[in-house]
């Protein structure tokens, strides 16, 4: 059942004199996340769990470990949300669950839990495309958003540029043909080695942003690489990752010291320039046809990186567009 169809179902609305309540389950990657949201834009309860320490020890995300984490913690998080929201299963109106894109083995755990819960309580099941959900969650907090709007979605596993024409219709203009910005930054950061005890328990992407803020004045230019050559608004973060891993290995092989803050700043700057360049390609293609929406929503976990956001904000000011960041405002 599509979201728009569900919200317009007459036999549900006609029997309710209060807002609808939906249980949401998200397990596309390493976060086990559950929330209860009402149709009047209120987050009644939200819980999230991630095994950061295991990831640190294993050097990254292990899909099978993620699946085990979801299987173990979903029942507890669902019960916690129901308790925090003061809601019983019979007071819910539907269950929404991420079905794509993501780690298949991780997605299966969330889907299985959602199906089991929906069947047990005779509730409709709503499949959710998690990248579209990143963009649409802006509607929870900003009433100024109007369709169509442009969206730049940057996450640990995906990157895309699209126009949201409605709740159900997204037109794709660019995507990463290989890799993602989050995975690129994460893998290079891990290859740098231990970053210090102050970063224990902190996601490697956040550590890179903090270290980059401590770089020298021209540190973002100290370790340059060539940007990937990809047609139109498409992106390639695996090429950036590979170039920096090779560069790091060459520096160490030559017995040279690596300035960690400057290296992080250079990596961050390169990722940002690649994204901004592709956003410019997108703008050019739509501006030529006079079809460029005036609003751009930036969402996804990587968009929480202030440097990446600011780099794209300058591009939007040049194009006289309204830029709205989602990550730190609506649980992206």
Question: How would you label 284-297 residue by residue, b for 16+ Cβ within 10 Å and e otherwise?
Answer: eebeeeeebbebbb
- Look up tokens 């794209």; give the residue: 312
Segment 313-331 shows an average pLDDT of 65
pLDDT at 3: 47
Measured between alpha carbons, how far is 271 from 312 in angstroms, rounded to an integer?
11
Q: DSSP letter string over 86-115?
A: T--GGG--EEEEEEESS-HHHHHHHHHHHH
Show the domains of the chain with their CATH numbers: 3-138 (3.30.420.40), 141-325 (3.30.420.40)
What confidence tens digit (pLDDT) does each residue in 237-285 have? Answer: 999 999 999 999 999 999 999 999 999 999 999 999 999 999 999 999 8
pLDDT range class, residue 191, cuts 50, 70, 90:
very high
CB of 49 closer than 8 Å to CB of 32:
yes
For residue 210, is pLDDT > 80? Answer: yes
> pLDDT tens, 30-82?
999 999 999 999 999 999 999 877 877 777 788 999 999 999 999 999 999 99
- Please state whether the peptide bond connecting residue 148 to the residue before it is cis, i.e. omega within 30 degrees of 0: yes
pLDDT of residue 287: 80
Q: Which residues contact 99 (CB under 8 A, 6 or more apart)?
A: 107, 111, 127, 128, 129
Q: Which pTM does this prediction carry?
A: 0.85
Cβ partners under 8 Å of residue 132, min gap 6: 164, 170
Place of tokens 């540029």: 161
pLDDT at 271: 97
Q: Report the range of poorest mean pLDDT among 51-65, 93-107, 211-225, 250-264.
A: 51-65
Question: Helix (H, G, I), strand (E, B), or coil: what is residue 143?
Answer: coil
Radius of gyration of the chain (CA): 21
Indicate the range of 13-27, 41-55, 92-106, 245-259 predicted with least confidence.
13-27
pLDDT at 12: 42
More confident residue, 151 or 3: 151
């Amino acid at each position: 059942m599509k979201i728009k169809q569900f919200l317009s179902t007459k036999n549900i609305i006609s029997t309710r004199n209060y807002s609808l309540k939906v249980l949401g389950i998200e397990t596309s990657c390493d976060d086990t996340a559950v929330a209860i949201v009402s149709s009047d834009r209120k987050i009644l309860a939200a819980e999230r769990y991630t095994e950061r320490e295991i990831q640190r020890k294993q050097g990254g995300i292990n899909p099978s470990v993620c699946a085990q984490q979801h299987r173990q913690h979903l029942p507890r998080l669902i019960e916690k949300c129901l308790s925090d929201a003061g809601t019983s299963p019979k007071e819910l109106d539907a269950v929404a669950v991420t079905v794509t894109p993501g780690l298949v083995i991780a997605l299966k755990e969330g889907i299985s839990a959602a199906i089991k819960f929906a069947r047990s309580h005779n509730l409709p099941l709503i499949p959710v495309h998690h990248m579209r959900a990143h963009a649409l969650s802006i509607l929870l907090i900003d009433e100024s958003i109007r369709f169509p709007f442009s969206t730049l979605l940057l996450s640990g596993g995906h990157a895309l540029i699209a126009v949201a024409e409605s709740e159900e219709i997204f037109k794709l203009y660019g995507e990463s043909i290989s890799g993602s910005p989050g995975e690129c930054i994460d893998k290079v950061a891990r290859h740098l080695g231990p970053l210090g005890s102050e970063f224990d328990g902190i996601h490697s992407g956040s550590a890179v942003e903090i270290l980059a803020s401590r770089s020298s004045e021209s540190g973002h230019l100290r370790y340059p690489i060539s940007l990937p050559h990809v047609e139109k608004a498409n992106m390639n973060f695996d090429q950036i990752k590979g170039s920096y891993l090779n560069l790091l290995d060459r520096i160490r092989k030559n017995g040279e010291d690596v300035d960690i803050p400057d290296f992080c700043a250079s990596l961050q700057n390169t990722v940002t320039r690649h994204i901004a360049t592709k956003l410019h390609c997108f703008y050019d293609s739509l501006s030529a046809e006079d079809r460029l929406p005036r609003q751009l929503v930036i969402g996804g976990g990587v968009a929480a990186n202030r440097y990446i956001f600011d780099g794209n904000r300058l591009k939007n000011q040049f194009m006289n567009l309204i830029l709205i960041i989602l990550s730190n405002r609506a649980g992206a």
